[in-house]
Amino acid sequence: MFRLFTHNDLDGVGCGILHRLAFKDDTYIRYNSVQGLDFQIERYLETDRLEDIVFITDLSVNTENAQRLEAYKVKGGKVTLIDHHKTALHFNEYDWAHVTVEYEDGRLTAATSLYYEHLVKHHYLKRSSSLDQFVELIRQWDTWEWEKNETLDAKRLNDLFFMLSIDEFEERMVKRLQESDTFSFDEFEEKILDMEETKKERYIRRKRRELVQTFIDDYCVGIVHAESYHSELGNELGKDSPHLDYIAILNVGGKKISFRTIHETIDVSAVANQFGGGGHAKAAGCQLTEQAYKFYIEKPFTIESLRVDALKNQHNLKGNQAGSLYADQKGSLFFIYPRTDQSWTLEQNDSNKQAFSTFEEAERHIKRNYSAWLVRDDEYLRFLAENPNHSKRSK
Ligand SMILES: [Mn+2]
């Protein structure tokens, strides 16, 4: 029997789909979480089935299991580990492990693409153009290359993966890849993906209106309560309000916080670390501890939501040569306009002038310190009518 132990994300399940296509019914596939694999491997090795052919993909084993696998191999067991994570490179010291992070041309690898090449090379599977396309979508998804290449189908494939159960996804993809010469979504999948997209956009718009801004430890933080779509939400809110250093997404029911930033200069894993969590520089998380509760929920509770910049303006536009008008919750008005020498003036309530070298800097200043928003055209035109010295500028 051909056994596969693999990850339970899209890249891991991609390996499962290839495995099914290659070995048909003579297979046993187990999808594992990162934490779950070692238990499964240990339990399997205890059964001592030397007649099996075993593959492990997209995941690494611990030191004890590496030694057990080595002993199993020496006894005549057939095992191959295929992975693409940097942290697994040391497994290459074993002849049963193949860890490759990058192709020679510099593209990053994925477990699915490595396993595909392995199966083709050993004549378990025949190369086809639908398989080439399918594998490449997963590779781009798993390595984030889809963003730069704008390969939206890679993202849609992962969305579909999350909307279906693993079994249903596997079954659909196996059938598709056997029957079609090129890989594409069917009508039903396109439909549910579009519906999901619309639902997500609406959810993010609603969450944007609930966003609260405050300072925590010198960081200007956007706080929002949400249970779903954390990655997309963190990314969209971050891009919508680049004056925020990071976005904290709270899930009180699950007692968890996610931190996301779009800025290269900010490391949210350090923020998560303060509360016993961790992660990457741009995406991290922690438990909602009592201390975190105080900072992210209790203190900001009475702050009003951050207003959204007027969207449909014809006149009051950002970086306008005639000036751009902002307001804050206390009723202050902020007018930003260019001076002759390429610098920008910020005027607060018709006095109190400050100079900035770019429009963006002036805007960032009032957004961080006053939670100000771009006002609608009607308010802008009224302001100009009441301030003839400013209205001259627009002539
Ligand atoms: Mn992977």
What is the Å distance from ligand 1's center to 8 Cα? 10
What is the Å distance from ligand 1's center to 227 Cα? 25
Pairing of strands 219-225, 246-251: parallel
Q: Please, which residues bridge with residue 216 across strands? A: 219
pLDDT at 172: 97
Alpha carbon dihedral 304, 310, 311, 313, in 10-degree steps, equals: 170
pTM of the model: 0.76
What is the Å distance from ligand 1's center to 58 Cα? 5
What is the Å distance from ligand 1's center to 11 Cα? 5
Say if residue 180 is in the same domain as residue 42: yes
CATH of the domain at 284: 3.10.310.30
CB 162 within 8 A of CB 155: no
- Compute the distance between CA of residue 248 and CA of residue 233 in angstroms, rounded to an integer: 10
What is the Å distance from ligand 1's center to 34 Cα? 11
CB 385 within 8 A of CB 375: no
Say if residue 181 is in the same domain as residue 211: no
What is the Å distance from ligand 1's center to 191 Cα? 27
Say if residue 121 is in the same domain as residue 265: no
45 within some domain: yes
What is the Å distance from ligand 1's center to 395 Cα? 58
User: At which of 123, 153, 185 does a domain end?
Assistant: 185
Say if residue 331 is in the same domain as residue 386: yes
What is the Å distance from ligand 1's center to 142 Cα? 6
The pLDDT of residue 395 is above 70: no
Say if residue 357 is in the same domain as residue 223: no
Say if residue 294 is in the same domain as residue 334: no
Report the mean per-residue pLDDT for the chain: 94
**Residue type for position 156:** R
Say if residue 6 is in the same domain as residue 38: yes
What is the Å distance from ligand 1's center to 66 Cα? 19
pLDDT at 309: 97
What is the Å distance from ligand 1's center to 259 Cα? 22
Q: Which domain holds residue 260?
A: 206-302
312 within some domain: no
317 within some domain: no
What is the Å distance from ligand 1's center to 240 Cα? 30
- Compute the distance between CA of residue 267 and CA of residue 219 in angstroms, rounded to an integer: 11
32: part of which helix (H) or strand (E)? strand 27-32
Say if residue 145 is in the same domain as residue 55: yes
- Compute the distance between CA of residue 208 and CA of residue 141 in angstroms, rounded to an integer: 26
Say if residue 161 is in the same domain as residue 57: yes
Q: What angle do CA 95, 96, 102 make, to 5 degrees?
A: 85
Over the stretch 251-260, which tens digit does the pLDDT of each residue have? 999 999 999 9
199 within some domain: no
What is the Å distance from ligand 1's center to 204 Cα? 27
Query: pLDDT category, 220, cuts 50, 70, 90?
Result: very high
Chain centre distance of CA 373: 27
318 within some domain: no
User: At which of 185, 217, 252 does a domain end?
Assistant: 185
358 within some domain: yes
Query: pLDDT category, 382, cuts 50, 70, 90?
Result: very high
191 within some domain: no
What is the Å distance from ligand 1's center to 239 Cα? 27
What is the Å distance from ligand 1's center to 179 Cα? 26
What is the Å distance from ligand 1's center to 70 Cα? 23
What is the Å distance from ligand 1's center to 216 Cα? 35
Q: What are the Cα distances from residue 197, in Å, to 4, 152, 159, 187?
A: 33, 12, 9, 15
What is the Å distance from ligand 1's center to 136 Cα? 13
Say if residue 99 is in the same domain as residue 42: yes
265 within some domain: yes
For the chain, where are the alpha helices, taking DSSP H only? 10-23, 37-46, 63-74, 111-121, 129-143, 145-149, 152-163, 166-179, 187-210, 230-240, 268-274, 290-293, 359-370, 377-386, 388-391
Count Cβ atoms within 10 A of the Cβ of residue 121 and give its class: 0-12 exposed, 13-18 middle, 19 or more buried.
exposed
What is the Å distance from ligand 1's center to 80 Cα? 16
What is the Å distance from ligand 1's center to 374 Cα? 43
User: At which of 271, 302, 333 does a domain end?
Assistant: 302
Over the stretch 168-208, which tens digit does the pLDDT of each residue have? 999 999 999 999 999 999 999 999 999 999 999 999 999 99
**Tokens at 224, concatenated:** 């929002």
Say if residue 360 is in the same domain as residue 263: no
pLDDT at 280: 83
CB 53 within 8 A of CB 3: yes
**Number of domains the chain contains:** 3
What is the Å distance from ligand 1's center to 10 Cα? 8
The pLDDT of residue 393 is above 90: no
Say if residue 55 is in the same domain as residue 165: yes
What is the Å distance from ligand 1's center to 12 Cα? 6
